[in-house]
Structure 1
Amino acid sequence: MSATMRDVARLAGVSVKTVSNVVNDFPHVSVATRARVLAAIAELGYQMNFSARNLSLGRTGMIALAVPELRLPYFAELSDEIIVAAAERGYTVLVEQTGGMRERELEVLASARRRMTDGLIFSPIGLRPEDAPQLEVGYPLVLLGERALHGNVHHVSMANSAGARAVAEHLLAQGRRRIALVGSYDARGAGAGSLRTQGFLDGLADAGLRHDSARTGEALDWTRTTGAEAMRQVLDRGVEIDAVFGLNDVLALGAMRVLFERGLRVPDDVAVAGFDDIEDGRFSRPSLTTVQPGRSQIARTAVGLLVDRLSGADSSGGVEVVAEHQLIVRESTGGTAAG
């Protein structure tokens, strides 16, 4: 017969309530007690009945995740990491797409579908600062991304500006001075594109350089196609370039394709770098230099904050967590690593 919570309690020498506190990850359990309970769970092969737990707590056992577009590799890979992290905590994830449209993002916050889930992890890109009062919702909420939406809500973001500055410093250290920028950004300065652009410009300014606007290729949507079109814009102007920074990896991959079509060698003639560290970049030829923005940390932190709210372990006001980033140098800027 399968082990029960009572069996675990007997082996660990604690109460059934203490075992429940450990498996539900409640606070205020000593390290030694938690270790004994976990050891008993492992020895007995005890498996938590999450359905029964959720029923007793009046929960559904599901959390919602709302992202702009799953066809964009970054959001697809982030969603996968969140689903895995949630499963480890006994939750199923219901994924919704907003298309980055403000109306649909507002609808996600107010939808009756929220009654089907216990909380929401939300990556908005269309909401405006004046929409901040809409975040005062009656369920646990964790925000992802860079929108300047203030309120009593947890927020997990990435180091967009610092990561882009690291790209600029890397390219400059290689002697690149005529760097093209591929991608557009929100002129209000609230989104990832604005922060990455500013970080890039700050990196140039630190070296006493200014960016020539003729070397900027516009791309309102961040896809391979728009990255390619933006790269053509720059090259058709006849300006000289020796490097390209794509505001995300798919823009950089689209730009790299056009460089190949125009007979320019990467990285010999033009170095290329992106941002996000999507899997495609590891297998492109040449492999793509990029910023790894801490996607796994973002996913696990967001799930952890949400579950803490659900369990009652967290009653604090909104906190902001910025994930650690890392510049990954690969073949597209002269590195040797493909992984």
Structure 2
Amino acid sequence: MFKWRLKKIRKIQNKAIQNNSFILFKKTKFIKPFLLLLPSIIVLLLFTVVPFVYVIVDSFLIQGDSIKITDINVGLKNYEFLLKSDYEFQIALRNTIIYALVALPISLFISIGVSITISNLTKRYWKSFWQSIFFLPYVTSGVAISIAFFYLFADKGIMTKILGLETYSWLTQRSGWNSLIVIILRGVWENLAFQILMLSTALMSINPMLYKASQIDGVSKTRELFAITLPKVKRTLLFLITIGIIGGVKIFPLALFDNNPTQATSYQGQTIMTYIYSMLMANKEQFKHYSTTASVILFILGVFLSFAIRYIVILGYRINIHLGVKRVQYKIKNNKNPYKTNYQI
């Protein structure tokens, strides 16, 4: 009876597939899905593709004080000027690269520690509570965060009083690294919220039986971290690294300098984004070409750093797996079981 019923169901399914009655197998005209996608395609073209192409083309245009089209030349002089002669852009490029390479590892290191602590809590409501607490900076405005850090690191601000000093030039030093250090601290604090939420959620989805098995085998906590925890959150880490690098190269700390790009330049706090903003606000036409050139360099820098750091992280995972396999092979090779008996027939 069961086999007869199963055959009948299969016949009905095959007949339905042949008649295209299932929606998955039903053919539709191209025009219908195309019309549904058309608004998104138009918005994408107008606000992403067209501006992107325009910026690339404009970065090769060379123009003096004249606004005549006949006075415009084409070449690589904009790139040569920014990379070789423009001291302000060189400072901006240096600060952007240092911020992207320093702020992200620090914030990820802290986020992993906090996330492991949250995931090890026994009560579920405590996990949700601490996730919500650490997520609060993410819903706070970036301008509000910058203003808070501006007052925190003012010459006579809270941090200066905590250190027992009367005055200290955190954001008003014309040489040195003080401004960049404050920018990095602000970025680390702001990035922690999203990273802790993502990592703690990923850690809580790991099968707890893996940790119980490792405890039975006598595995140390450090080995658990590199053999179980980090490999299981690999995709989340790669996602956070990509997002962190993109956000790092686009750092825009203008609010720390009273929304004045001149102060950011004078106090060694210039980044590529503030440089682009200052060039766009200038009255000279050639400066606008410098801003588009800096935008292209920013794009290339972001893509290069994203792929490079992702490759390094993936390579680290592969090396860890390779070392683990070698370690297992070594233990199997050198294992001497005193209770093992060799039987000969």
Bin for the TM-score computed over the shorter chain? under 0.3
Q: Which has the higher contact order (CA 8 A, sep 6+)?
A: 2
Q: Which has the higher strand share?
A: 1
Q: Which has the higher helix share?
A: 2
TM-score where L is the length of structure 1: 0.20
TM-score where L is the length of structure 2: 0.20
Rg larger for: 2
